[in-house]
Structure 1
Amino acid sequence: MSGHSAADRNQLLSEAVRLREAGRREEARERLVALSAALPLDAEVAYQAAWVHDTLGLEAEAVPYYERALSGSALAGDDRRGALLGLGSTYRILGRHEEAVATLTTGVAEFPDDNGLKAFLAMALYNTGRTHDAMQLLLTLLVTTTADPELAAYRPAIEEYAKDLDATME
């Protein structure tokens, strides 16, 4: 582990996360960059480094850390979901819309119950000009998650219309 024992790694990572959570993001970033350089194959460290770059508005710098975090199978569960959403959203912000769609589509396939991923995918679809797909996804998301009884009453109609927004009565 390039001079870091597992205990050292865990302690350093925990300290950096605590700094980020306490709003001391630049200090956290410096520590995570150093830890990631020492442990380049550590997916969790890469994910935390990506996350702190994103919180600082350093989206372009976050991308390689996200990509490294997702490159293998070491990242799982909530961290993998967060990394897919983070990378997809970051690609979108950077104008890399096709990559955003691909990443977020993977996220929705792996985590079909995550509505956040679906919302970000809809935005990326819009950015690629796939407005029908974006609207279909958003309308379906809206009527399947709403607590508004007036909107819920129209759920069957909205779901049907969402399938083909261009259909008209002739």
Structure 2
Amino acid sequence: MNDETRNRLLAAAVALREGGRRQEARARLVELAAARPGDAEVAYQTAWAHDVLELEAAAVPHYERALALPGLTEEDRRGAFLGLGSTYRVLGRYEEAVATLRTGADEFPADGALRTFLAMALFNTGAHHESARLLLELVATTSEDPSVRAYRRAIQHYAQDLDAVV
């Protein structure tokens, strides 16, 4: 299959997903992924098509392939880390979720969604302090609430050691 055909088929499948025809989009993407196993973007879109249908276990190998292959845009790579990490978490694969989301958050430190999902996965592993620290830092650095902004420095300070007493 040439690149022009691939691009046309991929665009049509994404349009189907975005138009609410998710089953049809998934079927087309599964066919395209089988024809283009070395295509990171096709793998990512195929994973996404499974995820929106709540077929998380079937999404995992596509996400893993998308992240292992070269060729994802920065936006799609962030989305693949978030999708795979979140999917691992939903499946109860908490350690894999933490590892994936931590890698994504390290690669994209400004992405608050990755850090939020990492905090949830950390909570699931029992790492409650690190989970709370991440969330407090995120609140402190991103909140537009004037009352939170007034205490931003204090929140960031206390987030480092929630058990500290004077």
Query: Residues 2-81 of structure 1 correspond to what in structure 2 (within 5 A)?
Result: 4-81=1-78
What is the correspondence of 1:1-170 to structure 2 with a 5 Å cutoff?
Answer: 4-169=1-166
TM-score, normalising length from structure 2? Answer: 0.98
RMSD over aligned CA atoms reads: 0.7
CA distance in 2 between partners of 1:78 and 1:156 (Å):
31
Identity %: 63
SS of corresponding position for 2:110: coil
d(CA) in 2 for partners of 1:141, 1:132: 14
Would you say the 8 A contact 2:22–2:53 is kept in 1?
yes
Which segments of 5 or more consecutive residues in structure 2 lack a partner in the other structure? Answer: none
Distance in 2 of aligned mates of 1:131 and 1:104: 16
Question: Offset of 1:158 from its aligned partner?
Answer: 1.0
1:130-160 deviations in Å (ceiling 9; x for gaps): 0000000000000111111111111111111
Number of residue-to-residue matches in the alignment = 166
Which consecutive aligned stretches of 4+ in structure 1 deviate over 2 angstroms post-superposition? none
Structure 1: 5+ residue stretches without partners: none
Worse overlay, 158-167 or 48-57:
158-167
After TM superposition, the score normalised by the length of structure 1 is: 0.96
